[in-house]
Chain A
Amino acid sequence: MKKTVLNAAHQRHGARLVEFGGFEMPVWYSGLTEEHHAVRQRAGVFDLCHMGRFEIVGDDPVAALDRVVTQDVSRMKKGQVRYSLVCNDEGGVLDDILIYRLPDRLWLVVNAGNRQKLLHWFGERLVGAKVIDHSEDLAMVALQGPLACSLLAPHIDRAHHRAVADLGYYRISRAQVKLTGTPIDGWISRTGYTGEDGFELYIPSGSAESVFDALLDLSDEVIPCGLGCRDTLRLEAGMPLYGHELSEQQDPIGAGLSFGVSLDKEGGFIGEPALREVVARGPRRQLRGFVVEGKRPARQGAVILHDSRPVGVVTSGSPSPTLGVPIACGYVDSSVSEEAPLEVDLRGKSAPLSPHPLPFYRRTAETAHSE
């Protein structure tokens, strides 16, 4: 099992470590629910070094990447970050990624479990460009929560003295990180996987541990957060997780991710003909959100029933710390109406499902700025 450069820090902070995506990662430190509430109400720090950080290089990396991802990279502004899918020829999802169009380079962040698969796929399918893996030399840590901006602002210098507060949502810029004794040159983006305002820092791996500790020292209100609450935070925020809502057998249209698919971009992309067909005939099944009645959560794989007939399957489910009830999302056959009464089979006992619009949680103070 691989370890991130923050493994020793996790042990020091009392993490319970588990395997995730081939890495030994913290599932929680103080406890999942406490960490979840800390991110919703204050701020939490996450190790994201397990994720893959790639650079696309070549004469025209934007044009090359546009042929292998669903998002229209050519229309992204410099400094912009956008969500995209990487699809196979059949329109199934190989991974969901973030694309970072920096003024002088093009970056991707991919899921830990798909790193090798995507390195291979990009290596084979990129024409006139190649992929460089920076996952080892560049570290990635996040500070997420409503206090993130005010806590971080005094410690980040951006070009032309622009304030961190002015960095728009889904934007990235160069930054000098002054959290430790020596200023560290890196990047900062206003992105996250929690449904809260927050930032992700990209710094040389050698500085990761000191930056991680310094973020925790910003305030008593900041605590280290594990992948357990990252999962419940993203589920409440209606964000998909690869291996749950997404797989090579699932198209992004039925997953509700059409916003990340530019079918009309010039030149097409891998999977585009297949996805056009899905759009034309309508997806076979669609992702829906539910509250599970009772106290018992529905887990991935639980069968969704209508009139005792299987019509779908749960992809993610958990007690929702914010809503205080068990929530779940799952695929239901498109032929089943939104109003049809549904139940979920919880290992032989059925519990009613109440439809709930996705996302389950949306933060109220909107922090989307344009820059």
Chain B
Amino acid sequence: MDIDLKVSENRALLSVRGSLNSDNAPQLQEKLNEVLESDIKYLDIDFFECDNISSTAIGKLLLFYKDFISKGGEMEVIRCSTPIYELFNMLKLNQLFTVNLG
């Protein structure tokens, strides 16, 4: 699994490749904490090359989401693989933030 965070002024792009499971969810949390501690206002997430995501990782994402919007941030999944798209729809996460299919 590989996570990349690119920041440009107040916007960031977080790209995840491979399997985001319980083992590596802390790495996701670490990157999301970086976003929270910065002046980033807009976070785009690219899950197109993410094969699967565990509930632990989704939990980290949602904990971040709560903190991020409370400080005025906006988050969007700019593209994702079909399994992730279906999973986010199933869990109704697309009602919290925009989730685009890749």
A associates with B: no
Q: A residues touching B (Cβ–Cβ < 8 Å)?
A: none
Q: B residues touching A (Cβ–Cβ < 8 Å)?
A: none
